[in-house]
Structure 1
Amino acid sequence: MRVMLIGGTGPVGQAALPYLLGDRHEVAVAHTGAHEPPGPERVEHLHGERPALLAAGGPAERWGPEVLVDTFAGGATAEKGHELGCLAGRSAASQIVAISSIDVYRHCALAGVDGNEPTELPLDPLPLIEDAPQRSAPSPGGDIVHDNVAMEGALHGAARISVLRPGAIYGPHLHPRVLREWHLVGKIARGERHLALPAGGTQLFHRVALERVGRAVAAAIGAAPSGRWACNVADPQDFTYGALASLVARQLEWDWEIEVVGFGQAEHPWNVRHPVIADTTRLRHRLSVVEPDPVAATTEQVAWLWDHRAEPMLAQIPSH
């Protein structure tokens, strides 16, 4: 099939590309051209700003995509979702694969994700299934420039609208959105032994290996059902913050000096008031995505970060 990756030069697009090509799809990447990653010559690149690329009669429509995969680079909005649906309708694309997030769920807002004020008591059972209640307003950390709920609601124009909702992505890619583990690895790189554990380090915001997200994108093209369908994309097992800190220390032969503090007295990238765990039944059984092993993927991420600890970009990531 002719598959167009919109904004496909970032971590998710680049992770999906080898699996799309492995499934013998014909792939084009539509992006600004500001960043041109190395890749197979048989992948076509369409350059331009998003509105021009997706406009009526524009480069994306002329290419004739059968499937549109959108990573919503720069933030997901209702306008972008509607724009994508209009392109699907004009180009007769049969499927949209939209990359959203598990942050759409009400439980995430109540847990304090993305600037929301956490509540003392959650409302929803875990793990979060795809039909779990969604938040009713944009998160303070996103507002109108990034709202996955609004984006999902605006999608239209294709017989199959497949929405993938990843957790906190981690992977070997120099992009701040997939390098949260640097919070711990970076402390060791800087020689910092003090580690504050909020409420004993019991926080868990469901993580997902970048490779798993890439596999899910390709699998959705062949296996997602008709109509509007959502699928959580997360690792089958995960670590609490404390367990992750323990893994990093053992792997890098480090000893932490632990200080247990109250919740809210220390920050880290997975600092949620209530555990956020997504159900992965659809991912594993409908899309048949079961790789990679989450422990192996996490240790590989730690090793990759350690090997790249001199990268200037890592120094710009907040240490909380």
Structure 2
Amino acid sequence: MRIAILGGTRFIGRAVVERLAAEGHELLVVHRGEHEPAGLPAVEHAHVDRHDGPALAAALTPFGVEGLVDISGMNAAAADAALDAVGASVKLVAISSGDVYRAYDGLHSERTTDGVPLTEESPLRERRFVDGPQYENLELEERYLPRGATVLRLGAVYGEHDYQRRFEFVLRRVRAGRKRIPVGSGQFLFSRVYVGDVATAVSLALSGDHRGTAFNVVEPVTAPYRLFAEQILAAAGASDVELVTVRDDLLPEDLSLTGALSQHLLMDSSKAHAVLGWAPADVSASLRRSVRWHLANPPSDGSDDFSADDAVLD
């Protein structure tokens, strides 16, 4: 299949490109040219601002696109530009997030709004979080689903090349040789998914016919945050590090997710299992692989200030 990928050079996009290239698809990676990391598969690139509809159409039309994977869709304007650039026969896959659910708003407004796990039928947010050229997955879905796209609602994505550094709340302390880490009650449930398993879901969505359907794509078992921290420590070979329970109001800011939160973000992926035929690979192996990469590739702006830890641990 001839597949255009909007945003295919960084974290999720990179994994998707690697997966689809390995499967033998002909790919066109559309991006602005700001990120050209080494090690990407040798596929065709088009340096285009995806918000420029005419320029995007000019890049996609001669390629003869049969499938479109939108990873960098930000809002209605971004989705409209992409949809206007392709014909009705093009198979569409759009990456969204569990932030479309009302529970996400509940978490950020310190309310408990919904029971969990969240299914694809759970209430969506009414409140919009952005105004202007920023991310709003509700707008993205409102454009793509009526056009027959398969929408993948992801949990917290982790893995190699994760620029959000979801393990850093533990690993920056491991790198510094810290032997005690303050944590809260650690019961928060936040569904996760490995980036390689996201690429698998994209491949399955392209190969099937699931028009106008949204799927939660998350691991079926979610460790509460304290156990998650313990799993990261074990994968890092740092099981001797002690997690010390402290009051939530004393937690350093980057450890706030280990405290007591108002609303869990636990998502149910049974529909993806049953309909897409999706299942994650070995989750333990994925975690170990991810931790190894993050230890070997520390962030350039990582902080070595642990005064907030010391203040609560002393």
- TM-score, scaled relative to structure 2: 0.86
Q: Say whether the 8 Å CA contact 1:104–1:134 is kept in structure 2.
A: yes
Q: C-alpha displacement at 1:277, in angstroms?
A: 0.9
Residue in structure 2 matching 1:262, options 248, 251, 254: 248
Q: RMSD in angstroms over aligned alpha carbons? A: 2.6
Q: Say whether the 8 Å CA contact 2:216–2:269 is kept in structure 1.
A: yes
**CA-to-partner distance for each residue in 1:260-318, whole Å, 9 max, x for gaps?**
21378554374642221111112222222223222221222222222333x525459x9
1:167-178 equivalences in 2 (<5 Å): 167-173=155-161, 175-177=162-164
What is the CA–CA distance in structure 2 between the aligned matches of 1:87 and 1:258, rounded to whole Å?
Answer: 54
Could you say what secondary structure the match of 2:82 adopts? helix
Change (3 A) 1:273 1:70: same
What is the CA–CA distance in structure 1 between the aligned matches of 2:5 and 2:123, rounded to whole Å?
Answer: 29
Q: Which position in structure 2 is the counterpart of 1:212?
A: 197
Partner amino acid for 2:218?
A
Partner amino acid for 1:260?
V
Could you say what secondary structure the match of 2:149 adopts? strand
Q: Which position in structure 2 is the counterpart of 1:31?
A: 31
Residue in structure 2 matching 1:133, options 95, 101, 123: 123
Q: Which position in structure 2 is the counterpart of 1:241?
A: 225
What is the CA–CA distance in structure 1 between the aligned matches of 2:233 and 2:145, rounded to whole Å?
Answer: 47
Partner amino acid for 2:63?
W
Structure 2 unaligned blocks of 5 or more = 310-314
Partner amino acid for 2:75?
T
Residue in structure 1 matching 2:154, options 144, 166, 176: 166
Q: Say whether the 8 Å CA contact 1:77–1:147 is kept in structure 2.
A: yes
Q: Say whether the 8 Å CA contact 2:151–2:214 is kept in structure 1.
A: yes
What is the CA–CA distance in structure 2 between the aligned matches of 1:68 and 1:11, rounded to whole Å?
Answer: 18
Q: Which position in structure 2 is the counterpart of 1:103?
A: 99
Change (3 A) 1:57 1:154: closer
Q: Which position in structure 2 is the counterpart of 1:150?
A: 139
What is the CA–CA distance in structure 2 between the aligned matches of 1:209 and 1:155, rounded to whole Å?
Answer: 24
Q: C-alpha displacement at 1:79, in angstroms?
A: 0.8
User: Quick one: percent identity of the two aligned structures?
Assistant: 27
Q: Which position in structure 2 is the counterpart of 1:222?
A: 207
